[in-house]
Amino acid sequence: MVGRGARYQGGRKVSLTAVIYKPALKQVSPISFTGTSRLLHVSKPKTLKERLQELIPEKQDEIKRVKKEHGAKSLGNVTVDMAYGGMRGIKGLIWEGSVLDPDEGIEFRGYTINECREILPKADATGEVPSKEQVRALSAELAARSAIPSFVEDLIDRCPNTLHPMSQFSLAVTALQHDSNFAKAYQTGVNKSEYWLYMYEDAMDLISKLPNVAGRIYRNVYKDGKVPPIEPDKDYSYNFAKILGYADNKDFVELLRLYLTIHSDHEGGNVSAHTTRLVGSALSDPFLAFSASLNGLAGPLHGLANQEVVRWIFQMKDAIGESPSDETVKEYVWNTLKSGKVVPGYGHAVLRKTDPRYAAQREFALKHLPNDPLFKLVSQLYNIVPGVLLEHGKTKNPWPNVDAHSGILLQYFGLVEQNYYTVLFGVSRSLGVLSQLIWDRALGFPIERPKSYSTELIKKMFEEH
Ligand SMILES: CC(=O)SCCNC(=O)CCNC(=O)[C@H](O)C(C)(C)COP(=O)(O)OP(=O)(O)OC[C@H]1O[C@@H](n2cnc3c(N)ncnc32)[C@H](O)[C@@H]1OP(=O)(O)O
Ligand SMILES: O=C([O-])CC(=O)C(=O)O
């Protein structure tokens, strides 16, 4: 299991994450780290790109050493069940930005959600804690890159309102590929050691443009089609809230900040992250890789579950009322299971406890909307669903995941269009998966190509001798 304890091996720190010694972080800012030493100098803060430029050779060396010393060691067996079972449990990916512990949940660069809240002005892509000044500079850069080409605006405007917002989103991200620096550089024969520089530019462009893309879809489908301008001196979340039409509500902006943070990354094996990695490994540019990722996020067992949760709760409310007894709710949950459907928002491929992202949202709800009827229903479900799923006996994790909570918070603030919710998830997910995609090219990760077998071959291997 890769967990918090795994950061240390034989008393030695083994990762960049571990190199960041937590108590020091609270004492000095801005901080510069170099290699395995910490806190080397306090100086004019470096830009994200400059810092990456310094870190990449160190990481390349670190990986070279790790491969040399441990390359032949096994990370575990692969069984026939695993091959048939969606590769669950196979440890076959490296993902630097976050690691998911089945019990503790997600850690971003070694920090739990609560720890991140304590120490971060905002997380960035390097594994280091940026200073407020660095965050301000990054916000300004994102705002400066945020305009989208007019043909992409037209493309979005021409979509029928009946086309699901996620399909519009993926379409628009694919179209942004028109201006890919990486694709152009590849055509001109750039050296592979420089790939990451172009990936960086594309990733920054794409992340910057997403509020305008996603916001335009929202304004077209649900509002008057007018898209308010981005404010260059404001941060990403504020600007996104503004485009959506909710910037006047500071609690909503706070919610969006929380939302965009907790949905950003969930290690490498989930569908949206792995798709970005897989497609990018063919040297497809970030726009192509991320639009593919969005298509995976749009599936109801993955990101679309946030939409499904709200739909399911409304159906339940219609069927059994707004203040049902525990017994009636229990019966409703059983009926869902008996009709061969999943209870959306519950279960997880890796987690085995309540998702800390659920807990963070619950905390927000307790502070801002403790008496909201939908929040009360969600809390009631939290008390009932795990017991039913346990009794049902199939689900390996009966506890709620991130999607069980996000929708009803948005409902409370008036963002009631549930078909849009996965778009918010997608904007956030870009931060994690595109950061990793830059690292993928910087570290020279190869094209992904696992081996497959047929059932015939499995039988031959295990039955015929
Ligand atoms: C951001 C995210 O992507 S978080 C996940 C969002 N998705 C959902 O909330 C949808 C509901 N949950 C699920 O469908 C699943 O729990 C998943 C897709 C998240 C994980 O799937 P798995 O790793 O295959 O889960 P698990 O190993 O526990 O599945 C075993 C069985 O329990 C079932 N099961 C799992 N979760 C649930 C659930 N919430 N309701 C009913 N049945 C469930 C599976 O469908 C499977 O049934 P099967 O043997 O008939 O195929
Ligand atoms: O980790 C997973 O498989 C799904 C998930 O919660 C996420 O991607 O956020």
Round to whole Å and give the CA distance between 47 and 135. Answer: 9
pLDDT of residue 121: 67
Cα(428) to centroid of ligand 1, in Å? Answer: 23
> Of 382, 388, 380, 386, whose CA–CA distance to 335 is shortest?
388
Decide whether any atom of ligand 1 lies within 6 Å of the 381 Cβ.
no
Q: pTM for the full model? A: 0.91
Cβ atoms of 98 and 273 within 8 Å: the answer is no
Q: Is the Cβ atom of 349 under 6 angstroms away from ligand 2?
A: yes
Ligand 1 centroid–CA 17 distance in Å is 31
Alpha helices in 85-145 (DSSP H): 113-119, 132-144
The span from the CA of 126 to the CA of 200, in Å, is 12
74 HSE (CA, 13 A, CB side)? 3
Q: Is 377 left (phi over 0), alpha (psi -120 to 50) or beta?
A: alpha
Domains in the chain: boundaries: 13-69+76-136, 137-465
Cα of 398 to ligand 1 centre, how many Å?
Answer: 9
Q: Which ligand is nearest to the CA of 269?
A: 2
Q: Please state which CATH class domain 13-69+76-136 belongs to.
A: mainly alpha
How far apart, in Å, are the Cα atoms of 6 and each of 1, 80, 148, 407?
Answer: 8, 28, 43, 34
| Run of H or E including 98 | strand 98-101
Measure the CA dihedral 356/235/268/347, to 10°.
30
24 CA → ligand 1 middle, Å: 41
Atom 5 in ligand 1: residue holding the nearest Cα: 302
Atom of ligand 2 nearest to the CA of 302: 4
Q: Give me the interface pTM, i.e. the ipTM.
A: 0.99
One fold for both 13-69+76-136 and 137-465? yes
C-beta of 342 in contact with ligand 1 (< 6 A) = yes
Report DSSP letters for 367-415, one per residue: HH-TT-HHHHHHHHHHHHHHHHHHHH---S--SB-THHHHHHHHHHTT-
Token pair listed for 193: 């050691």
| CA distance linking residue 364 with residue 358, whole number of Å | 10
Is there a catalytic annotation at residue 348? Answer: yes
Question: How many C-beta atoms surround the C-beta of residue 123 within 10 A?
Answer: 24
Residue 411 to residue 207: CA distance in whole angstroms: 25
d(CA 235, ligand 1 centre) in Å: 36
Identify the residue whose C-alpha is closest to ligand 1 atom 36: 347
| Helix or strand holding residue 301 (H, E) | none
Residue 43, pLDDT score: 64
The pLDDT value recorded for residue 465 is: 61
Whose C-alpha lies nearest to ligand 2, atom 9? 266
Q: What is the 3-state secondary structure (H, E, C) of 248-293?
A: CCHHHHHHHHHHHHHCCCCCCCCHHHHHHHHHHHCCCCHHHHHHHH
**pLDDT < 70 stretches in the chain:** 1-43, 121-125, 464-465
- For the record, the structure tokens of 277 come out as 């990695």
Cβ atoms 176, 146 nearer than 8 A: no
Q: Which ligand is nearest to the CA of 422?
A: 1
pLDDT value of position 45: 79
Residue type, 173: V
CB 204 within 8 A of CB 141: yes
Side chain identity at residue 55, one-letter code: L
Q: Which one from 205, 355, 403, 440 is the annotated catalytic residue?
A: 403
Residue where the block lists tokens 């590769």: 87
Asked whether the beta carbons of 181 and 201 are under 8 A apart, the reply is: yes
Query: Ligand 1 centroid to 301 CA: how many Å?
Result: 7
Q: Is 87 in the pocket of ligand 2 (CB under 6 A)?
A: no
Contact status, residue 106 vs residue 2, Cβ threshold 8 Å:
no
Degrees, nearest 5: CA angle 115-118-123 = 75
For the question of residue 465 being annotated catalytic, the response is no
What CATH architecture applies to the domain 137-465? Orthogonal Bundle (1.10)
The protein residue whose alpha carbon is closest to atom 6 in ligand 2 is 266
pLDDT reported for residue 19: 28
**Is 274 marked active-site?**
no
Instruction: Tell whether ligand 1 has an atom less than 6 A from the beta carbon of residue 201.
Output: no
Q: From the CB of 396, is ligand 1 less than 6 Å away?
A: yes
**Are 157 and 224 contacting, i.e. CB atoms less than 8 angstroms apart?**
no
Catalytic option among 164, 263, 274, 348: 348
CB under 8 Å to 277, separation ≥6 — which residues? 93, 95, 268, 289, 433, 436, 437, 440, 445, 448
344 CB within 6 A, ligand 1: yes
Residues in the chain: 465
Burial of 459 (0-12, 13-18, 19+ CB in 10 A): exposed
For ligand 1, atom 7, name the residue with the nearest CA: 301
Task: Quote the crossing angle between the two packed helices 250-262 and 403-412, to the nearest 10°.
Answer: 160
Contact, 19 vs 38, CB < 8 A?
A: yes
The per-residue pLDDT for 46 is 87
